[in-house]
């Protein structure tokens, strides 16, 4: 971090939690490193995936800007919030019908905002209990999969350094898109870092950045726990998943055939 901040740096923007592998960043340490180098550098955090998962005390966090989105706390899509510390002036990125106080032109999506507000209230109602419950389900799912399916690897950290809702596992000799399709036919909706699931046919840059090989990224599944999930849901996934992985692996020419060119 220190090596990347210099005189040219205007703003540092870091996701408080990585949404693919669940890494919780030490935002305070990052803030201190940046401010040590240069007091004037602004610090922004994308807190979308942290909101409702870890405590976010803006005073304590002391960043300049933070963004939040409604759908990540199970509110309506298309609404978000930007925290701007007092005294910081930012320019709108879109101009239109604009009053002096508006960062975004046009009329507000009032029903969306009301829904967002309600979602924030609900997610923080039993915050500690929800987080403990999600962490428990996360660990059950993670260890259940790692213990019941061979040739698997967990992507991202374990325990307290990981978001309570995030499970990301690579299944070797398996292509992730095929896994997601087969799981969806069983009522389980998850995503994959495989190139085949993206519209650009490139595997997840996050998985490549932590040193996963292409085939390990292709075989990855990202599963998210919500406060609405139960132990029964996790048990159902653990029941179905090994068979799904086995079937997809059985289709593959795992031992490559003699190559003729």
Closest CB to another protein among 43 and 166?
Answer: 166
Q: Is 260 in the site for another protein (CB under 8 A)?
A: yes
Closest CB to another protein among 45 and 170?
Answer: 170
* Total residues in contact with another protein, by rule CB under 8 A: 42
Q: Which helix (H) or strand (E) holds 187?
A: none
Q: Is 44 in the site for another protein (CB under 8 A)?
A: no
Looking at 185, 187, 228, 232, which residue binds another protein (CB under 8 A)?
185
What Cα–Cα distance (Å) separates residue 184 from each residue in 133, 151, 174, 207, 236?
Answer: 25, 22, 16, 23, 13
- 81 DSSP β-pair partners: 68
CA distance 168 to 222: 4
Contacts to another protein from residues 78-137, by CB under 8 A: none
Q: Is 222 in the site for another protein (CB under 8 A)?
A: yes
Shortest reach from residue 159's CB to another protein, in Å: 22
3-state SS assignment for residue 127: helix
In this structure, the dihedral spanned by the alpha carbons of residues 123, 129, 131 and 132, taken in order and rounded to 10 degrees, is -170
Q: Is 3 in the site for another protein (CB under 8 A)?
A: no
Residue 179 CB burial class (10 angstroms; 0-12, 13-18, ≥19): buried
Shortest reach from residue 12's CB to another protein, in Å: 22
For tokens 């029964």, the residue is 232
Map residues 193-212 to x or -, x wherever contact with another protein holds by CB under 8 A. Answer: xxxxxxx-x-xx---x--x-
What DSSP line would sit under 9-26, residue for residue? --EEEEESB-TTT-BBP-
Paired sense of beta strands 220-224 and 65-69, if any: unpaired
To the query of whether residue 48 is one of the catalytic residues in this protein, the response is no
Map residues 150-179 to x or -, x wherever contact with another protein holds by CB under 8 A. Answer: -----------------------x-xxxx-
Closest CB to another protein among 69 and 130?
Answer: 69
Q: How many other CB atoms are there within 10 angstroms of residue 73's CB atom?
A: 21
Catalytic positions: 196
Residues in contact with another protein by CB under 8 A are 19-20, 173, 175-178, 180-182, 184-185, 189, 191-199, 201, 203-204, 208, 211, 213-215, 218, 222, 251-254, 256-261
């Amino acid at each position: 971090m220190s090596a990347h901040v210099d005189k040219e740096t205007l703003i540092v923007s870091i996701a408080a939690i990585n949404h693919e592998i669940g890494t919780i960043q030490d935002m305070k340490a990052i803030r201190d490193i940046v401010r040590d180098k240069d007091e004037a550098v602004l610090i922004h955090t994308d807190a979308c995936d942290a909101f409702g998962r870890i405590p976010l005390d803006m005073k304590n966090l002391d960043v300049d800007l933070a963004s939040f989105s409604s759908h990540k706390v199970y509110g309506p899509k298309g609404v978000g919030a930007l925290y701007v510390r007092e005294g910081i002036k930012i320019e709108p990125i879109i101009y239109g019908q604009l009053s002096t106080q508006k960062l975004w032109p046009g009329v507000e999506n009032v029903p969306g905002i009301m829904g967002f507000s309600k979602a924030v209230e609900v997610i923080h109602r039993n915050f500690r209990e929800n987080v403990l419950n999600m962490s428990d389900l996360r660990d059950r799912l993670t260890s259940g999969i790692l213990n019941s399916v061979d040739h698997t690897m967990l992507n991202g950290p374990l325990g307290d350094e990981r978001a309570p809702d995030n499970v990301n596992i690579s299944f070797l000799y398996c292509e992730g898109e095929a896994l997601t399709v087969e799981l969806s036919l069983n009522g389980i909706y998850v995503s994959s870092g495989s190139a085949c699931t993206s519209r650009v046919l490139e595997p997840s840059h996050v998985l490549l950045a932590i040193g996963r090989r292409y085939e390990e990224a292709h075989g990855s599944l990202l599963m998210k726990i919500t406060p609405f999930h139960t132990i029964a849901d996790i048990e159902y996934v653990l029941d179905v998943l090994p068979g799904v992985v086995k079937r997809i692996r059985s289709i593959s020419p795992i031992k490559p055939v003699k190559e003729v060119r």
